[in-house]
Each structure stands twice: as C-alpha cells, then as structure tokens.
Amino acid sequence: MADRPPRSGKPAKAPPLGPPVSDLLPDRPSLSRVREAAAGCRACVPYARATQTVFGEGPRRAEIMMVGEQPGDVEDVEGHPFVGPAGRLLDRALEQAGIDRRLVYVTNVVKHFKWEPRGKRRIHKRPDGAEVAACRPWVETEIALVKPRLLVCLGAVAAQALIGRTFKVSQERGRFVPSPLAPLVAATVHPSSILRARDDETRRAEMDRFVEDLRTVAAGIGNPPRDPAGSR
C-alpha cells in the first residue's frame, strides 16, 4: 500500500501533469499490462491528492462488468474498487439479485479519488467532465479486453460517460440501451445514493429497486437461472 496523502490543505500550486492516457496505453494490451501502466498515470489533477490508482478487478473473461464513478476514501487507501461502504451495499444487492460477485468485473470510469478536506474527513468530489474524458480510455480498454456480455453503469457519472451525455438514470434505469460497448448495456443508480437515503424506509425501498434492476438486467444473459418451479 502506498503512503497516505496529506489529509488537509490544498497543494500549493497546480500539480505537474504527465502524458495523456493515450500515450500510456501499452502496444499489446493485457489487463495486467494496462493495470501497470495506469498505476503511473498523472494525466489529470486528482492523482496528486490520491493515494494510488484504483484499477478494476475481476475475472479476465467476466460476463458482467459493473462501472462506478471513482474510488471512495476506503478504496483509495486499500487500492481495490468497491471495498468500502458502497461496495458492501453492492455485495448485498448482488447477493439478493442472485449474481455471484466473484463472476463480476468491477471498475470505475475515473481511477483516482478526488476529495476535499472537511475537518479530518476527506469528502468525495464529483469528477468534472475533463477528468472523466481524460480517464475514460482506461475503462474503454478494460471493456475491450474483458468483453463482457453485460455492462452495467452505476450512477449518472458512469452512465453519461459510457452511454451518452444526456442519459437520465432516473428515467432509463434497469433497461437495455443500444450501445457498441457490449451486447447488453444498462444503467442503474449508484449504490452510494442508497446509503444517502433520508430514512430507513426510503433506503429499503431504494435497495429493493436497485436489486430489481440488477436482477432484470442479469436475466438478459440468463443469470440467475430461472426457477423451473416458477415459485419466485
């Protein structure tokens, strides 16, 4: 694990940027070579206050890929995607939807944690359009290498980056949309939006809807297997 970044204070001036992602992509890409290249990426500002690049993880030939926004505080420190509170909620939702998380490749459209200090805490800041555009070649390369049958965008940042700028998650969640990225492409909410629900009842309802979206889209590739007795 890399050293923790300073917990407060802005860098005195704009950090030096490295070459764009297009210059870092290996000639003969494999997931491990791309991961290694991404580890040294300094193509946009958030790298400077993050601990490390958090690359995607999962089986090389995963049938399902899920793409979030950017690593959170825990992911930044541990170096793995979706291992903090949002990741635990995603684990529970996948389990309830009958999807084996070990068969899912999980990643993010932006690979460094962007944050600002609030007291002793590091508060997530949404990546801007330029950062999403700068980082997108990494996730595009992951998609091209893994070739999932089903690609699921989690939240508006991922959906707008990968499906289209005007995509509205609230209106189009849980349905397939035509896309050259994978045979089946859909979006749903980000699991952290469920963590932010205003009360328990809302949270439960939002969780149920999230699970339902995951179940619906996974049914597109025949997962989970249909219950022959039709008892569910």
For ligand URA, the binding residues (CB under 6 A) are: 68-72, 75, 81-82, 84, 86-87, 108, 192
**Residue 108 interaction partner, one of ligand SF4, ligand URA, none, beta carbon < 5-8 Å per kind:** ligand URA
Contact 21, 113 (CB under 8 A): no
Beta strands (DSSP E) in 125-167 are 150-154
Do 186 and 152 touch, CB atoms closer than 8 A? Answer: yes
Please give, one letter per residue, the 3-state secondary structure of 158-223: HHHHHCCCCCCHHHHCCCCCCCCCCCEEEEECCHHHHHCCCCHHHHHHHHHHHHHHHHHHHHCCCC
Q: Please state, in angstroms and rounded to a whole number, the distance separating the CA atoms of residues 208 and 200.
A: 12
Cβ-proximal residues to 37 (8 Å cutoff; 6+ apart), any chain = 24, 25, 26
Task: Tell me the C-alpha distance between 3 and 111, whole Å.
Answer: 17
Interface residue with ligand SF4 among 35, 42, 80, 147 (CB under 6 A) is: 42
**In which region does residue 198 sit, left (phi positive, over 0), alpha (psi from -120 to 50) or beta (all else)?**
alpha
Q: List the interface residues with ligand SF4, window 17-36 (CB under 6 A).
A: 21
Backbone angles phi, psi at 40, to 5 degrees: -100, 10
Q: Binding to ligand SF4 by residue 44, rule CB under 6 A?
A: yes
Q: Which is nearer to ligand URA, 39 or 227 (CB)?
A: 39
Query: Among ligand URA, ligand SF4, none, what binds residue 71 when CB lies within 5 to 8 Å by partner kind?
Result: ligand URA
Taking CB under 6 A as the rule, does residue 160 contact ligand SF4?
Answer: no
Per CB under 6 A, does 181 bind ligand SF4? no
Q: Does 162 bind ligand SF4 (CB under 6 A)?
A: no
- Least Cβ distance, residue 29 to ligand URA (angstroms): 22
Tokens of 179: 């896309």
**Closest to ligand SF4 by CB, 32 or 202:** 32
Q: Does 184 bind ligand SF4 (CB under 6 A)?
A: no
Q: Which of 34, 97, 110, 194 forms a contact with ligand SF4 (CB under 6 A)?
A: 110
Contact stretch for ligand SF4 (CB under 6 A) within 41-49, 56-64, 85-93, 152-160: 41-49
Residue 75 or 131 having the CB closest to ligand URA: 75
Q: How far is the CB of 114 from ligand URA (least distance, A)?
A: 11
Q: Which residue is nearest to ligand URA (CB)?
A: 68
Angle between helices 129-146 and 31-39 (to 10 degrees): 160
Interface positions with ligand SF4 (CB under 6 A)? 21, 38, 41-44, 46-47, 53, 110-112, 131, 134-135
